Chains A and B, each alone.
Chain A
Amino acid sequence: MELGVTLRKLKEKFGDWLFDVGQAFGDDFFVAHKDKVVEISRFLRDDPDLRYNFLIDITAVDYPQRRPRFEVVYHFFSLPFKQRVRMKVPVEENHAEVPTLISLWEGANWFEREVWDMFGIRFSGHPDLRRILLYESFEGHPLRKDYPVNKRQPLVGPKIS
């Protein structure tokens, strides 16, 4: 399989930090070490041949059988070259933390809050890591596979102010 320019450039520059590269579902993907998240993203955004200037989405996947258990998934889109690339970052359960991308894309703020809300993965350097969809007194992170499907949360009463 021949690699596209994105993956070739990435391998050249960050070869030691990539666990895997390839293509899946019609897009390039690569699995990167979490310490290099910001650097790789900046490279993807600023390199004149790539210019992945649009952060489409940040989400995560829980693989209960795997170690490390979580994978944070980033999708980038290059508006000039109409290309997509997917970055996956494995994260340990007992140290679920990746660096924030807010310094590169302001929009990462709410994506990262959602990932924290649903999966309990922290983003170091995030200025305001609160729950975004659920409420503060919610216990647990519901999109983790070990969250009981029929768990009931305590109802919160009206705030008296």
Chain B
Amino acid sequence: MNTPAGGFFTSRLDKMIGWARKYSIFQYPFVTACCGMEYMATACSHYDIDRFGAGLPRFSPRQADVLFVVGTISHKLAPALKMIYDQMCEPKWVVAFGVCTCTGGFYDNYATVMGIDTIIPVDVYIPGCPPRPETVLDGLMKLQKKIQNQPQMT
């Protein structure tokens, strides 16, 4: 390599791991409701989520880095969501996709969890009912930024 110092270049390990991680987001789509359609639209070729290195959904939480919670979560489903979150390996992130997962949305009743952050920690909130693919990609880029800037070796 042609560098001024001659034959090598320096970088910070932290930054490099962050760079690797942010472009290899293996997501676990936890899809329960209508937001799933927008998730599919985002994941398909037109919007092409693979540009951000997130094109490979894993359907086992043990292989996934990012938990995409897509759609309304009911109280009855809440234990399952918590269990899936617990099964994911560190480092892991959570994206709340759509207002139902952010706050409960327009549901305020006996069945719906008022925001998944009452159960598990959330890194990125993507509002919208459902959010357009552009919003999702924006959220994904914010997540990448977060992954890049956090300490990697804790």
Instruction: Determine whether A24 belongs to the interface, using a CB cutoff of 8 Å to chain B.
Output: no
Q: Is A81 an interface residue (CB 8 A)?
A: no
Total A-B residue pairs with C-beta atoms closer than 8 Å?
Answer: 37
A50 to chain B, nearest CB (A): 38
Query: Does A153 reach chain B (CB closer than 8 Å)?
Result: yes
Give 1 or 0 for each of A131-161: 1 = CB within 8 Å of chain B CB: 0011100101010000101111101111100
The B interface, classified by DSSP as helix, strand, loop or mixed, is loop
| CB nearest to A157 among chain B residues | B79
**For the complex, is B154 an interface residue (Cβ under 8 Å from A)?**
no
Q: Which residues of B contact A (CB under 8 A)?
A: 75-76, 78-80, 82-83, 86, 108-111, 113-114, 118-119
Do B109 and A157 touch (CB < 8 A)? no
A-B CB contact pairs (8 Å), 26 listed: A133-B76, A134-B76, A134-B111, A135-B75, A138-B75, A138-B110, A140-B110, A142-B110, A142-B111, A147-B110, A149-B108, A150-B108, A151-B110, A152-B114, A153-B75, A155-B75, A155-B78, A155-B113, A155-B118, A156-B75, A156-B78, A157-B79, A157-B82, A158-B80, A158-B82, A158-B86
Residue ID in chain B nearest A160 by CB atoms: B83
